[in-house]
Structure 1
Amino acid sequence: MPQLEQQRRLVTEIPGPISTSLMDRRSTAVSAGVGTVVPVFVARVDGGILQDVDGNCLIDLAAGIAVTNVGGSDPQVAGRVADQAQRFTHTCFMVAPYEGYVEVCERLAELTPGSHEKRSALFSTGSEAVENAVKIARTHTGRDAVAVFDHAYHGRTNLTMAMTAKNLPYKQGFGPFAGEVHRAPMSYPFRDPGGMTGEQAAQRAIDKLESQVGGDNLACVVIEPIQGEGGFITPAEGFLPAIADWCRERGIVFVADEVQTGFCRTGAWFACEHEGVVPDLITTAKGIAAGLPLAAVTGRAEIMDSVHAGGLGGTYGGNPVACAAALAAIDVMREQDLPAKAARLGEILTGRLTQLQQECPAIGDVRGRGAMVAIEITEPDGVTPAPAIAARVSAACHADGVLTLTCGTYGNVLRFLPPLVMPEHLLEEALDVLTKALANLTA
């Protein structure tokens, strides 16, 4: 199949007639509890372009929420997936194992931070990976308590909902939740008191945990190095190392949730690397397998091996087709040096958005790393969250052929997650559309 031309093109209004018809069918067949960001149905994805069933070509600044880092139809991934599917699609690794699972675990041991001996266990979703990281930490330490942070997002299972901070849409009406989950303040430079350093913010969190939980009772601290759904909050320099050092001193397992930040997204293979933090356990998913369901917990051998045989697993965890996709995706990331490409896309994003901030008072903050960048939209006072404006700007971008996402505890953050293989001219054009949308809606 020929590649899609890497150009934005609108041939109908958004949504077009075929997408509208499919949305009608969706309403009679799909639960209303399943949301949709943009009302178009996808026909093809290639590079930085998402083509809908009406022939419209949208610039993709979502990448399936940081999943299609290597693009949505990479030929190496597609070829390896097809080859594996022709041989077998499933046996369950716990019943009859296969080499692909082992090879993915070997790659994770090579790529994740730290030179210590490592083990991995594979799952299907990021939520599963986080929940299993907690199980492993509890087994290893013999403790129960779990610490998480304000604005965190860790998943939609019962335990990970308890770990997630935001109520709507993730928690409303779904309780009661798992217990022994305790929340500490996050380093949020835009909203922290002026002049607060990363080390001071870490001490604020540590003091709360020591006084309200007790370090001796904590099995693990689970943290996103850059918070995703919470608003792409990038902690002040020094925050993560200080939390990791405290965990080491107190015998607490430090878990880095890199489900969204992992696999080249931030300009490094993993976001922890930016400050030299080596987690005890690291959870991954999203970008690992180019869109196929795969997740992992990787960590110190003595921690991972503390669980009894049969204590970890799942029917579909480490599915052979998903493992094939991951192995091909990792090859592409290496061959195309996607950490460097992410860094370059980040330079464009940060440069253009910082310039735009000078012209647009509604942009209160520009933040992120690599190709994981966001703007926080505020009222004229420069502080009060403005979610309605953020939603209107995002909708205007959709109507003009650019797929954007909102996020944040207050719903006022526009986040940008281009596929790492996106041509630079497409990103520049997408930012032109964003600039126009902001000018029209905040004038």
Structure 2
Amino acid sequence: MKFEDYQPYLSPALAKATNLIVESGQGCYLTDIHGDRYLDFVQGIAVNALGHCHPKIVEAIKDQSGKLITASFNVVNYPTTLKLAKRLSEVTPGQLNSVFFSNGGAEAVDGALKLAKAYTKRPAIIAFQGSFHGRTFGALSVTGSNAKYRKYYEPLVGSVYFTAYPSKDICPKGFNEEQRTRFCLNELDHLFQYLIAPDQVAAIIMEPVQGEGGYVVPTKAFVQGIRDRCDQYGILLIMDEIQSGYGRTGKMFACEHFDVVPDILTVGKAIAGGLPMSAVVSKKEIMAEWHPGMHGTTFGGHPICAAAALAVLDEFQQSHLLDHVNKTGTYLKDQLVRLQKKYCCISDVRGLGLMLAIEFSHPDGTPAGDILEKVREGCLNNNLLTLSCGVHNNGMRFATPLNVKKEEIDQGVAIIDRVLSQICAK
């Protein structure tokens, strides 16, 4: 079996990172149809929180699929989905305890934008440069990580305004962390003064840690400054935690690092251990303005996905997973810093918990996406799957399982080290 034989039947719109045909997976590893085993540091793009085919998730899926596959959650209720809504409300911050289930991250973002407009009765949305929220029309309208995503699709949803996020790529060159924070908050204030009155803004949507944009971690002062402005003007704060949430940063949700509770939270990727599920979570008084029929879904709240999601939450509790993320995240970051000291082409190591990235640059400081691609190709040839990030595609992000073992980290870092020794000067 060759991918090329089937490629004519697949739309080229879905970019393929590899031509691998994978037959099975277990934990941190994938096995292709030829029996070759790959260390997977992508995990479905941060989807498999517990690795491939975790036995408790597999058991939950088998058990529920033998009872009921679906009858549509807008027609009947399922025990698994009802239990999940309650369990999810118990781990989300603040008073975020009302849940609308959907199927994927972009769909959840679309729902969050609609909810914010329904509640505030205001037309405008503010998003950030460098952001990635998805590719549906609503989510794409608030995505600013790369112009290629928006090409040929204009006009998108109207009344969307972009402001600066405190990353080195976006802010003036040479600014330190404090200066970037101040610059970006001033940019938002200027947006209110010159382009859109704050009383016309329904929501500000942000990733507490930018994902596709480069795993950029802002300062607490910046995130709290956004929260303060939302409170001042009656604007809802939407936190997109599709990638950063569910333990990835060492806390259940990344916003907890900044002591900020959003008004609306989007959750996805890791929620169901590999099955397609997402959610919009908000306060009851906000959800109360989302009247029956104003939003809907056929497959959202799927009973099998909910069963898997319950198994994920069980494992979080029983294995003290957040403690493990913080411990192994520190270890992985130390290993990446060691690589940075060894190879001049690595210009930055950043992130929280197991949401980490390294950035590649040329000696003159320009982004080295070309070097990254050589490194990723070398890693693939050495049976390691990796993933890029950043507007210049010069960042390598690490999306290991949250229960990754030290020896698996060592194996992956050793492969990267070996590849770098052949590409970058020491």
Instruction: Verify: 1:259 aligned to 2:239, yes or no.
Output: no
The separation in 2 between residues aligned to 1:397 and 1:52, in whole angstroms, is 16
Aligned residue type for 1:234: V
Does residue 195 of the first structure (1) align with residue 189 of the second (2)? Answer: no
Match of 2:137 among 149, 155, 158: 158
- Three-state SS of the structure 2 residue aligned to 1:200 is helix
**Residues 75 and 399 from structure 1, CA distance in 2 versus in 1: closer, same or farther, beyond 3 angstroms?**
same
Q: So what's the TM-score if we normalise by structure 2? A: 0.95
Hey, what does 1:344 align to over in structure 2?
A: 327
Using the TM superposition, name which of 186-195 and 105-114 deviates more.
186-195
The answer as to 2:121 corresponding to 1:121 is no
1:430 has 2:412 as partner? yes
Q: Which residue of 2 aligns with 1:177?
A: 156
CA offsets per residue over residues 336-378 of structure 1, 9 Å max, x none?
1221222122112210111211221111111011111001111
Q: Check whether the contact 2:166–2:181 (CA below 8 A) recurs between aligned residues.
A: no
Unaligned runs of 5+ residues in structure 2 are none
What is the CA–CA distance in structure 2 between the aligned matches of 1:117 and 1:334, rounded to whole Å? 20
Q: Is the 1:150–1:165 contact (alpha carbons within 8 Å) kept by the matching residues of 2? A: yes
The letter for the 2-side match of 1:354 is V
Structure 1 residue 332 corresponds to structure 2 residue 312: no
Alignment size in residue pairs: 421
1:287 CA displacement: 0.3
Q: Alpha-carbon deviation of 1:32? A: 1.6
- Are 2:88 and 1:108 equivalent residues in the alignment? yes
1:125·1:293 contact (CA, 8 Å) conserved in 2? yes
1-side partners of 2:92 and 2:104: how far apart?
18
Is it true that 1:290 corresponds to 2:273 in the alignment? yes
Deviations 1:116-151 (A, max 9, x none): 262110000111111111111101111010011011
Deviations 1:375-394 (A, max 9, x none): 1111112x311111111111
2:22 is matched with: 42
Matching residue within 42, 54, 57 for 1:74: 54
Give the AA of the match of 1:125. Answer: G
Pair 1:84 & 2:64 matched: yes
Q: Provide the TM-score with structure 1 as the length reference.
A: 0.92
- 1:414 paired residue number: 396
Query: 1:64 corresponds to which letter in structure 2?
Result: G
Aligned to 1:307: 290
| 1:399-432: CA deviation from partner (whole Å, max 9, x where unpaired) | 1111100111111111111011222101111001
How far, CA to CA, are the matches of 1:196 and 1:351 in structure 2? 21
Q: In structure 2, how many angstroms separate the alpha carbons of the residues matched to 1:215 and 1:68?
A: 39
CA RMSD of aligned residues (A): 1.5
Q: Equivalent pairs: percent with the same residue?
A: 33
Q: Are 1:186 and 1:205, in contact at CA under 8 Å, matched by a contact in 2?
A: no
Contact map agreement 1:362 1:442 (CA 8 A) in 2: yes
The answer to whether the aligner puts 1:441 opposite 2:423 as a matched pair is: yes
Q: Which runs of 5+ in 1 are unaligned?
A: 1-20
**Residues in 2 aligned to 1:95 and 1:284: alpha-carbon distance in whole angstroms:** 23
Amino acid at match of 1:70: L
The amino acid that maps onto 2:198 is: G
Query: Is contact 1:77–1:325 with CA below 8 Å preserved after alignment?
Result: yes
State the Cα distance separating 1:227 from its structure 2 match.
0.7
Match of 1:247 among 230, 243, 261: 230
Residue 393, structure 1, aligned to residue 393, structure 2: no
Divergent runs of 4+, >6 A: none
Matched, 1:281 2:264: yes
Output one character per residue of 1:154-203: Cα deviation in whole Å (capped at 9) or x when no partner: 00101111111134552222332111111000011576442341651442
What's 1:14 paired with?
none
Report if the CA contact (8 A) 1:240-1:277 is conserved: yes
